[in-house]
Amino acid sequence: MIILKWEPKTGIWCEEEDGVDKLKKNFFGQEKDGKVFLNPEEALYVITFLNGTCYIHEQTAGFNEIASYYIGKNPRLMIDYNAYRDWRDRGLILKKFSEVKLPKHEGKKPKGEKRYPSRSIKQESLSSQAYWYPESLFSVLDDEKVGQHLFNTHWFGQLGVYRQERGNLLRMDFMETIFLSRHFSLKVIESPTGKPVTGDQILAQVSKKREYAKRLYEVYEDWRLKGYVVKTGFKFGSHFRIYFPGASPALSPGRQEGEDREWIHSRHVLHVFPKEQKLLVSEWARAVRVAHSVKKTFLLSVPDLKEKDMSELGAASHFLAYRRKKQGQNLVREDPAADKSRYLLAAFSEDDHIGGVELASLLKKAESLGLQLLLSITDRETSITYYVLNKILLPDSRHEYYEIEWMKP
């Protein structure tokens, strides 16, 4: 049994020799003057799972009494506690960010950064014109030769019927229409009026109908200018599906002229998370799960962020997470006193809302510490899913992008 003492003004601590040894051996708490002081999450774990007993003024204090006192200081205590409990149940160490003195080697660039290739798109000057349908948010090009060229060479729009190879009209969504107007000199006629319309005018029209249209287009344009093919990600619960430079519906990898077409499948989907938006965590996690279920990498963008947008994060609700390392032929858990933490862990529940600025601020904070951001999401049955975010280095981009991967500790 581990005996704890609690004085609300002083904290929760263990002073008995056996208990102190057990807690220190398992990296609980902070030692001071021969005592080990525990934070609320640690104390709740000890009395629930390690046969601990806590006393306040010679009376035992139970889980709810302790939690009810500290919930006033940290309203998210129960969400944080469940993340702590799950990590500890796996035999791993989790420390409150505010309680750890970061060693000198913290602050280096985190592992997990991934450099994506870039190939400038070959811009052309088109002599054809497309007709823009404002209420439908798409345009149609009926010049068959130009339409086939744009579709087969650059994979713009949809030629005919999707995957059926019949029909000769090229239908383009609003982002493709704007991009071709800006960068391929495509002339666009507004169908109801018969008057020419520019890409900027189309974007202004769409912005009145669709929230965050400008943000979506900025991300679309960023990837397209670097040679990527960007198509709708609607079927996968995301804004875009991404094909790496060189992809074409006409020449699938390994296909020779004259062979039957083998349809190309995307390997990445991209979701744009506007900084002003708040999203239910369960909806966001569902989109990630859909992508992973079809073996696609989920990419995230929070565009148009400025330094002034970043929020100052309170350290009380975040953890430094440690895993295991190889020692000889064995795997041993990392020691917070000797090993660099791997992750900045932020805990959420499935009923939380997370904002674009909040997520971006967490990413920036983790990056400044040389850590990867790890999100723990607790469902209503206390099961936890973990997602780790890796920064993408996209050459000459003014936006920041991240891969999100499901992670099992």
- Tell me the catalytic residues: 243, 265, 296
The candidate with the shortest Cα–Cα distance to 102, out of 398, 388, 399, 370, is: 370
SS3 5: strand
Best CA proximity match to 142, nearest among 161, 155, 129: 129
Would you give the DSSP letter of residue 408? Answer: -
Residue 4 β-bridge partners: 54
Pairwise CA distance, residues 106 & 342, whole Å: 10
Distance CA 275, CA 214 (A): 12
Residue 405 CB neighbours (<10 A): 16
How far is the C-alpha of 99 from the C-alpha of 18, rounded, in Å?
Answer: 24
CA 35, CA 21: separation in Å to the nearest integer? 10
Give DSSP secondary structure letters for 312-338. PPPGGGEEEE--EEEETTEEEEPPTTT
26 close to 18: Cβ distance less than 8 angstroms: no
* Structure-derived torsion over alpha carbons of residues 216, 218, 224, 230, reported in degrees to the nearest 10: -10
